[in-house]
C-alpha cells in the first residue's frame, strides 16, 4: 500500500461517505451490511454526527478502491 492510500483512509467525512454510497448505488442499509455495522451508524456518518474510525475506515477505503471511487481528500466535494 502506498503512503497516499494510508493518508486517504483518514479523510472520510460525511460528504465522501454519502458520495461513495451513491457511487455504489447502495442504500444506507446495504452499505451497513457490507461494513458489518448498523444502518444508524451510516446515517450518523452521513449527517456528520460521527466519523468512521478504525476498521470501518479501512473497509471504506477498500470498498472505494475496489469500486474505483476517486475523491480528493481536501476541501471541496465534487458532484457525483
User: What string of DSSP letters covers 19-39?
Assistant: HHHHHHT--HHHHHHHHTS-H
- Cell numbers representing residue 45 in the block: 456518518
pLDDT tens, 14-30?
999 999 999 999 999 99
What domains are defined for the chain? 3-66 (1.10.260.40)
**Strands, DSSP E only, in the chain?**
none
pTM for the model stands at: 0.75
Q: 69: pLDDT confidence band, cut at 50, 70 and 90?
A: very high
Q: What is the pLDDT of residue 40?
A: 98
Amino acid at each position: 500500500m502506498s503512503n497516499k492510500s494510508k493518508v486517504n483512509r483518514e479523510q472520510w467525512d460525511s460528504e465522501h461517505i454519502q458520495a461513495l454510497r451513491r457511487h455504489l448505488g447502495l442504500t444506507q442499509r446495504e452499505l451497513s451490511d457490507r461494513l458489518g455495522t448498523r444502518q444508524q451508524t451510516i446515517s450518523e456518518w452521513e449527517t456528520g454526527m460521527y466519523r468512521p474510525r478504525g476498521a470501518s475506515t479501512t473497509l471504506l477505503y477498500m470498498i472505494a478502491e475496489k469500486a474505483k471511487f476517486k475523491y480528493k481528500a481536501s476541501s471541496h466535494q465534487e458532484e457525483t
